[in-house]
Amino acid sequence: MARTSGKSSGTDAPRITLTEPVDLTDWNPGPGDVLSGDRIDGRRIATLDIAGERLPDLEIEECVIDALHADAADLRGVRVHDSVVEHLDAPVLRASSSTWREVRIGGGRIGSAELYDAGLNGVEFIGMKLGFVNLRGAKVTDVVFRDCVIDELDIADATLLRVSFEGTRIRAAEGSNTSIAHVDLRGADLDRVERLEGFRGATIGADQLYTLAPLLAAQAGYRVD
């Protein structure tokens, strides 16, 4: 069972400083209103439907988006700063080399998240269902996963600093050459985890150690008889 994580000596909590934008202009974009390289600033958007669009280098700053539909959109290099997305729906999220700074995503579902070589700083994922999350080569700093479900997390060659998983179920995490500091798994549900190779160096609780003992022994090459 997961338990509430708390700070212990040597494990720092993520530093989340997002302030929800105010004094926004309502905007209801239609088809073709958003183009590659556009900058959307200071808007409150009920629905932003960019599914299937080619929008590399799009920039979103100080916005509140109630519903973002982004399935199969080309969002390479997208920059999202100081913004809130209340619901994100993307069976396939193509956002490699993107930048997310001070962002809260308040719910939704992503089947495959292509976030390799991305930069995530000060980001909260809340109540999300995440299938395969590709963070290869990403820099992940001050990030919180809260009440989420993650089927598979690939963090090969990634750098994780001050990342926590509060009330979040993780089924598998793998990768090599991962740099980890202040990554807190104490609030995560690891009862049904299948692989945990990518989290060497993370903090777990004493109660979780008993649950994970057979898995850790197998990963270390021990045979328990």
Residue ranges with strand state E in the chain: 25-27, 39-41, 43-49, 59-61, 64-69, 79-85, 88-94, 99-105, 108-114, 119-126, 128-134, 139-146, 149-154, 159-166, 169-170, 173-174, 179-184
pLDDT at 21 over 90: yes
CB 95 within 8 A of CB 116: no
d(CA 203, CA 13): 11
List, in order, residues 6 or more apart from 85 with CB less than 8 Å away: 65, 68, 103, 104, 105, 106, 108
pLDDT at 210 over 80: no
More confident residue, 136 or 2: 136
* Per-residue model confidence (pLDDT) at position 204: 85
Which residue blocks in the chain are alpha helix, DSSP H?
A: 206-220
pTM above 0.85, yes or no: yes
Q: Which domains does the chain have, with CATH numbers?
A: 34-220 (2.160.20.80)
* Per-residue model confidence (pLDDT) at position 7: 47
More confident residue, 212 or 32: 32
| Cα dihedral value 193, 199, 203, 206, nearest 10 | 30
pLDDT at 100 over 80: yes
More confident residue, 190 or 51: 51
More confident residue, 2 or 12: 12
Tokens of 171: 């089924």
* Per-residue model confidence (pLDDT) at position 1: 38
218 pLDDT tier (thresholds 50, 70, 90):
low
pLDDT at 176 over 50: yes
